[in-house]
Amino acid sequence: MVTQKQERFRLDLLKWADENLRDFPWREPDRSLYEVFIAEFFLTQTPAENVSTVYPEFLERFPSLEAIDEASEDELVDTIKPLGFYNMRSNALKRIAAENETLPDTTKELVKLTRVGRYVTNATLCFARDEPLPVLDRNVERVYSRVFSDDWPQSSTEQLQFAERLVPKDRARLYNLTLLDFGAAICTPQPSCDECFANEYCTYYQDS
Ligand code: SF4
């Protein structure tokens, strides 16, 4: 059950998407589960613009978990070095590839993979399969904690439940992608409240 304010925010956000949704190679239609997973795995600690520079070459050299399994760690590092954290990332990908012939496609299994947390799991399944899962990173937490600051819970479990209620079941992918972009472009740490569609009802703005 969503409140009137939550429903208004959802509709306004989806309208904002018409003009503002960003294009990235991993957002192209028909990307496979594996291709979306690779992008989300890199995006956890690296800006999208940087991931864009490495992503096409990575998929060309390593089009599957099998290809990662067969490659040497040096080959992996060579490709992902510009992203940073390359040892940690190559170790994790090698381990995932050694333990899985294909990428698991359930939240229960994905979340257990090495260095794959709730964010990567939900983002992968939502963006590749349109599953209505909450995609909660720091940007999205900031948006919700401002717009709904009266209701935003303290515990991470309750925050996830809060976010889950807001995901529209019929447009989960579009909604979550837009929320990420809105947090990156408008409701940033120094927010652009004057040009924000939510400034009439955002609690943070109204109280400031
Ligand atoms: S009004 Fe400001 S704080 Fe509120 S959602 Fe918009 S940008 Fe963020």
Atom of ligand 1 nearest to the CA of 186: 7
State the distance from the centre of ligand 1 to the C-alpha of 195, rounded, in angstroms: 9
In one-letter notation, the amino acid at residue 85 is F
pLDDT tens digits for 31-76? 999 999 999 999 998 999 999 999 999 999 999 999 999 999 999 9
The full DSSP string for 19-84 is HHPPP-GGGSTT--HHHHHHHHHHHTSS-HHHHHHHHHHHHHH--SHHHHHHS-HHHHHHHHGGGS
Model confidence at 1, pLDDT cuts 50, 70, 90, reads confident
Residue 197 CA: nearest ligand 1 atom is: 6
| Closest ligand 1 atom number to CA of residue 193 | 2
Spot the catalytic one: 19, 28, 40, 49. Answer: 40
- The chain-wide mean pLDDT, for the chain, equals 96
pTM of the model: 0.95
Confidence of residue 29 (pLDDT cuts 50, 70, 90): confident
pLDDT in tens, 164-199: 999 999 999 999 999 999 999 999 999 999 999 999
User: Over the stretch 97-139, which tens digit does the pLDDT of each residue have?
Assistant: 999 999 999 999 999 999 999 999 999 999 999 999 999 999 9
Ligand 1 pocket mutation pick from 138, 180, 186 by most atoms within 8 angstroms of CB: 186
- Residues 39-66, buried b or exposed e (16+ Cβ, 10 A)? bbbbbbebebeebeebbeebbeebebbe
* Nearest CA owner, ligand 1 atom 8: 187
Q: Is 49 a catalytic residue?
A: no
